[in-house]
């Protein structure tokens, strides 16, 4: 059994191989399991999840993997291959605190804490992590890390936690680290379906599979420009507070309850900035439902219009875009024309755009980006991925 050959992780890709090999070289034995959790790209429905609205992401073929073996003590020993093999030890019999000298470890600590706070009995283990989700690319590397680890502990300690609850606990871990995110990223990382996007209702946490029409490519272009501002989390949290303020104004718990008609009718007294945020959320929810319908009909022209409207709303009303992202939307939009669409994806303040396009246009888009983006982004190059909608988190033995 320890010879390897029969194990499903032996046939997996390079990230899994690297965590298995590292585990062997450090611990002198095979890991028992490997946990894998993907990043995501959101096709439409941005900054709506924490207002209990609709989102439509798919999991992507970039992931975080952890090789691991449970131990009989109360200590976690964790190696981060991508952070110069940094190691952290967590003693589960002591209170769990954040460690700002190893920011990556806080996601691990946060997952331990939320699992234990919710009554789940976990014990020690040896873990090696690595991943290929581009950091800072707006593709949810932190959610992939949390979900990967929660899934691993769930398996190691037979906790019997379902996929949606794995997502909720991972979201709570992210809150503990400092970003008051919605549920989208952890949900899709845990629950993603091979070959499909999911339309998630962030109120009842149900999801419907959405087919990506045949011959349509999902292209991600990373601007490679991060805008730290006063700290990304604080900008994000400020947007969330503004949405909550707007909900209070309309007398509802979440903006999901507000219709476009009510927005129009009852917003006279609302602070103008808060009104812009609310308008984005209310109309974006509507766009998600319309996009699902248009995709079902294979109507890429309508999908493209909705994606552009989403982008403009995130730029002008929600104010989370950047000049580099806007440049990518212009450059790609000019090639795609009416045959697809492009928009900012993820939380914003940098990161990536997502484009739905006929496969036949992918190379033309790549060329246009290579040629024109550096001119508009101070010499910066973008990174181009054609991605495949992938399955959610899983365990390899």
Q: Show which residues are catalytic.
A: 185
SS (H, E, C) 288-329: HHHHHHHHHCCCHHHHHHHHHHHHHHHHHCCCCCCHHHHHHH
| The pair of three-digit structure tokens given for residue 246, joined into one six-digit string | 């707007």
Residue 86: Cβ-neighbour burial (10 angstroms; 0-12, 13-18, 19+) = middle
- State the binding string over 330-369 for ligand GAF (x if CB under 6 A, else -): ----------------xx----------------------
Q: Which residues inside 192-221 make contact with ligand GAF, applying CB under 6 A?
A: none
Inter-residue contact 41 to 181 (CB < 8 Å) = no
Q: Which residues inside 49-88 make contact with ligand GAF, applying CB under 6 A?
A: 49-50
Interaction of residue 184 with ligand GAF, rule CB under 6 A: yes
Interaction of residue 146 with ligand GAF, rule CB under 6 A: no
Identity of the residue, 21 or 233, whose beta carbon is nearer to ligand GAF in the bound complex: 233
Q: How far apart are CA 240 and CA 234, in angstroms?
A: 10
Interaction of residue 244 with ligand GAF, rule CB under 6 A: no
Interaction of residue 181 with ligand GAF, rule CB under 6 A: yes
Q: How far apart are CA 264 and CA 1, in angstroms?
A: 66
Which CA distances in Å does 186 have to 39, 122, 205?
A: 9, 20, 12
Contact window for ligand GAF (CB under 6 A) among 128-136, 162-170, 178-186, 384-392:
178-186
Identity of the residue, 124 or 346, whose beta carbon is nearer to ligand GAF in the bound complex: 346
Inter-residue contact 127 to 68 (CB < 8 Å) = yes
Size of the site for ligand GAF (CB under 6 A): 12
Interaction of residue 256 with ligand GAF, rule CB under 6 A: no
Interaction of residue 134 with ligand GAF, rule CB under 6 A: no
Task: Tell me how far, at minimum, the Cβ of 262 lies from ligand GAF, in Å.
Answer: 22
Contact window for ligand GAF (CB under 6 A) among 42-50, 122-130, 264-272, 293-301:
42-50
Q: How far apart are CA 324 and CA 223, in angstroms?
A: 6
Interaction of residue 182 with ligand GAF, rule CB under 6 A: yes
DSSP-derived 3-state class of residue 331: helix
Question: Which of 30, 46, 146, 324 is in the footprint of ligand GAF by CB under 6 A?
Answer: 46
**Checking DSSP bridges between strand 75-80 and strand 125-131, what pairing results, if any?**
parallel
Residues near ligand GAF, by CB under 6 A: 42, 46-47, 49-50, 140, 181-182, 184-185, 346-347
């Amino acid at each position: 059994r320890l010879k390897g050959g029969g194990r499903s992780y032996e046939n997996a890709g390079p990230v899994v191989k690297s965590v298995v090999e590292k585990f062997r070289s450090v611990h002198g034995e095979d890991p028992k399991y490997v946990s894998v959790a993907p990043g995501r790209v959101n096709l439409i429905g941005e900054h709506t999840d924490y207002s209990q609205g609709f989102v439509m992401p798919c999991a992507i073929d970039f992931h975080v993997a952890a090789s691991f073996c449970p131990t009989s003590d109360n200590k976690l020993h964790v190696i981060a291959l991508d952070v110069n093999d940094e190691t952290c030890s967590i003693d589960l019999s002591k209170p769990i605190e954040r460690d700002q000298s190893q920011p990556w470890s806080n996601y691990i600590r946060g997952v331990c804490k939320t699992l234990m706070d919710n009554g789940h009995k976990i014990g020690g283990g040896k873990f090696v992590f690595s991943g290929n989700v581009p950091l800072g690319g707006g593709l949810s590397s932190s959610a992939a890390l949390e979900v990967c680890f929660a899934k691993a502990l769930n398996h190691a300690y037979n906790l019997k936690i379902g996929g949606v609850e794995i997502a909720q606990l991972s979201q709570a871990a992210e809150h503990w680290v400092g970003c008051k995110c919605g549920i989208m990223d952890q949900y899709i990382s845990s629950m993603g379906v091979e070959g499909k996007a999911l339309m998630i209702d962030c109120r009842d946490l149900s999801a419907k599979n959405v087919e990506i029409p045949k011959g349509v490519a999902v292209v991600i272009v990373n601007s490679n420009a991060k805008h730290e501002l006063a700290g990304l989390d604080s900008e994000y949290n400020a947007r969330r507070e503004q949405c909550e303020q707007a909900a209070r104004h309309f007398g509802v718990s979440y903006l999901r309850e507000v219709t476009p008609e009510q927005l129009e009718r009852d917003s006279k007294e609302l602070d103008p900035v808060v009104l812009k945020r609310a308008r984005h959320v209310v109309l974006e929810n509507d766009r998600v439902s319309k996009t699902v319908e248009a995709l079902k009909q294979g109507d890429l022209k309508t999908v493209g219009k909705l994606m552009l409207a989403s982008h403009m709303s995130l730029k002008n009303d929600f104010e989370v875009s950047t000049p580099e992202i806007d440049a990518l939307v212009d450059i790609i939009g000019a090639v795609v024309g009416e045959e697809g669409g492009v928009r900012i994806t993820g939380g914003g303040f940098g990161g990536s755009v997502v484009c739905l396009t006929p496969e036949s246009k992918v190379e033309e888009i790549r060329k246009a980006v290579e040629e024109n983006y550096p001119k508009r982004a101070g010499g910066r190059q973008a990174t181009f991925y054609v991605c495949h909608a992938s399955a959610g988190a899983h365990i390899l033995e």
